[in-house]
């Protein structure tokens, strides 16, 4: 299964609403997670099962979708949200990740 994220990068301002999409090459139900990665750091889990917010993650982050099309939305971009976001197909093994979306400051 291949995951295609779009866009690969975007520029936005603090307070903007940001949407990132992830498209799977096959139907994967709701088996999708989103991670945030800051430069030089490990990824951190944001959302799993397509829409469940991981413990401690701010409520401005939300996920939606099922089947092949998924979205990550940041309702009001904060300075600490500038990072790269990765989607991942939740699987027992042969995990796959999207190519990443870099969110930069406009």
Partner 1 sequence: QMQLVESGGGVVQPGRSLRLSCAASGFTFSRSAMHWVRQAPGKGLEWVAVIAYDGVNIYYAESVKGRFTISRDNSKNTLYLQMNNLRTEDTAVYYCARISKEYLAAVPLDCWGQGTLVSVSS
What the block records as the tokens of 42 is: 């490990």
Of 20, 15, 3, 4, nearest to 103 by C-alpha is 20
Smallest distance from the beta carbon of 46 to partner 1, in angstroms?
9
C-alpha 75/C-alpha 95 separation (Å) is 28
C-alpha 47/C-alpha 42 separation (Å) is 16
Q: Which of 48, 61, 70, 85 binds partner 1 (CB under 8 A)?
A: 48
What the block records as the tokens of 19 is: 């949407």
Is residue 96 within the footprint of partner 1 (CB under 8 A)?
Answer: yes
Size of the site for partner 1 (CB under 8 A): 23
Q: Which is nearer to partner 1, 42 or 80 (CB)?
A: 42
Is residue 43 within the footprint of partner 1 (CB under 8 A)?
Answer: yes
Q: Give the residues lining the site for partner 1 (CB under 8 A).
A: 31, 33, 35, 41-45, 48, 54, 86, 88, 90-100
């Amino acid at each position: 299964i291949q995951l295609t994220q779009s866009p690969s990068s975007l520029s936005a301002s603090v307070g903007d609403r940001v949407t990132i999409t992830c498209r799977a090459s096959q139907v994967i139900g709701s088996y999708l997670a989103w991670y945030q990665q800051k430069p030089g750091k490990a990824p951190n889990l944001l959302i799993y099962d397509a829409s469940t917010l991981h413990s401690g993650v701010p409520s401005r982050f939300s996920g939606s979708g099922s089947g092949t099309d998924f979205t990550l939305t940041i309702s009001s971009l904060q300075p600490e949200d500038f990072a790269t976001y990765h989607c991942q197909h939740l699987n027992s093994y042969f995990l796959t990740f999207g190519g990443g979306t870099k969110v930069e400051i406009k």
